[in-house]
Amino acid sequence: MSREEGLSHGQIAEALGISKNTVANTIVEAKQFIRSYLEKHYGLAGLVVLLACLLKEK
């Protein structure tokens, strides 16, 4: 929702009926999982792709 729809953490929290901290923590955990998965399965190339995607969003 944050990336796809451009919603703020507050908007997501309200839509899902959860706290903003839960939204923020979940996003951090998801990014960590993706980073770890890419590193494990694709090595440095996977991390470069992740970095490129993150920079593109900003």
Reported as a single tens digit per residue, the pLDDT across 1-58 is 777 788 999 999 999 999 999 999 999 999 899 888 877 877 777 778 777 887 876 5
Residue 44: per-residue pLDDT? 77
Cα–Cα distance, 9 to 39 (Å, whole number): 27
> DSSP of 17-42, one letter per residue?
TS-HHHHHHHHHHHHHHHHHHHHHHH
What's the pTM? Answer: 0.66
